[in-house]
Structure 1
Amino acid sequence: MEYVSAFHNIAYDQSLTFDNKVASLLQLGKNLFNVDTGMVAHVEASGLTVAVLETDLSRQKINKIRPPLLAFSEEVLEKAQSTSGRHSDNKSTSLFVGAPILCHSAAIGVIVYASSRRTRPFSHRHLNYLELFSRWYSYEFVNQYKHEEYKQNIEMLNRFESIAKVGTWEVNLRTKQMKWSDQTKLIHQVPLDYVPNLETAIDFYKEGYSRDAISNSVENAITSGESWQLELELVTAKNRAIWVKANGIAEFVENECIRLFGTFHDISHEMIIREDLKADVQDSKQRIS
């Protein structure tokens, strides 16, 4: 099975995008099958949608073969297994072979090859290639979907952070690595490529009560799992004094604290409003007395 090595070289080529790999694997199958058309189609709510098409046919010929190609694809999906077939009209006969793309037993698409020049039936070798292609495509497609979903979630979180001016942070106590979201870095007035650690993060808090309070809270969280929610003074990298609300939670595995994470919110404007209200209340009391 010499095609396995060629398949592997394409599928695991890190320089190729997912779409490039699919096109190359379709072309590899065309050569292996000695056919003129290879197609990947996805199952959509409205029916099958062609995702990738590799063909040697003219537009006129591919338009002619398209209806029987899609009809055969529906047959492959209905059988839920590798299938071969043929379509004849008054002028020619086309041979088809295809396999469903399955994800958790549900069909998400189909891979089909077709040719009007081939006369010999497709062999088990061809079916093996199709099933290898199908399994790879299913795995990679799900990974691509999850990656896009993750990116969308991150973008949504970043938009939320920007609007609410709430940042996030976490520290892995096993690796000692700390991560700040972009909004947390903006609040600290550090560059977006800034790499924090637990010690330097604590040093941003104003010396005295604020720094002592956050240090004690971190220690208590690591030893006893106690979370914290504090309003403290902080001095940014640009020496700007601000008020922040710092929230932290500890994560334990087998009685060992492995991670701390939480949110970080600039509440300076809120503190100004509070002080103004206090002053107004005090003035009112003095006028009444």
Structure 2
Amino acid sequence: MFIIQKLETIHLSSSQKEVAQYILDKKLEIEKLTIQELAHQTYTSPATIIRLAKKLGYEGYESFKKDFLEEQKYILTHFNHIDPNFPFTKNDTIQTISSKMTTLSKETLDDTLSLLKHDDLQKAVALLQKANIIHLSAISYSLLLGQTFQLNMNRLGKMVHICPINGEELFMDNLIHEDDCLLMVSYSGQIDSMIHLARLAKRKGVSIIVITSLGDNDLRKYGDVVLNISTREKLYSKIGGFVNENSIKLILDILYACYFELNYDDNLNKRINISKESETTRFSSLDIMKESES
């Protein structure tokens, strides 16, 4: 959850509300304000500001201000052209909708790439490589995207097991072992059953990769490495999950591609040979799609 969302939802005293509203109104303008200046502007005290920061999980004003400014810079510099929650209107033409959806996809992919850190990605790929079995936990559309990742990895001989989140996670303690890896995908990061599964895995010493939104949520606290989803959509008030779904798909595709590259020639041969054996009836009259005879 973003700090801005917490400020709008947590219980605050009247004086803390004054500080919170001032911060929400001024946004990046608080960068140069000391705690004494902020207290003066809001007719409060430094002690009130410190108590507000602690309610948000920070030790003090400076650490809060640092994260708040970084969050605001992210929000203000991404998705300037299209509203990710309502990317088109009821009066848009088919061509306009097509153009807006394409722009939204491009912005999502660029944003996702900007959030991927080299060292985190490298660590995640190493954990996948080391794992005896990869257990993938997700729900809804994220689960469908995870099944595509499962198919791709299985074709390379790397076992990916889908963990059902429907009460069966209670029995996963017997199936997940220390030399496995748990890959967890959740936009909100606040699904109780997934957090319970993460807790079980952490207790057994299982490596955990978390793919989730920016900001603070319970699931990311269990990750040995966290990969960030493009975070601009609301949980419910939206036309569809276009941004987070495209972002998750890109991250999973990148993980697959980086894993593939570890043994490029061998994996390429596996992929081609499996496709030849299992897809014997496929053909095309288009030259660009035809396979060579060799």
Q: Which structure dedicates a bigger proportion of its chain to strand?
A: 1
TM-score if structure 2 supplies the norm length?
0.24
Q: Which structure dedicates a bigger proportion of its chain to helix?
A: 2
Higher relative contact order (CA 8 A, sep 6+): 2
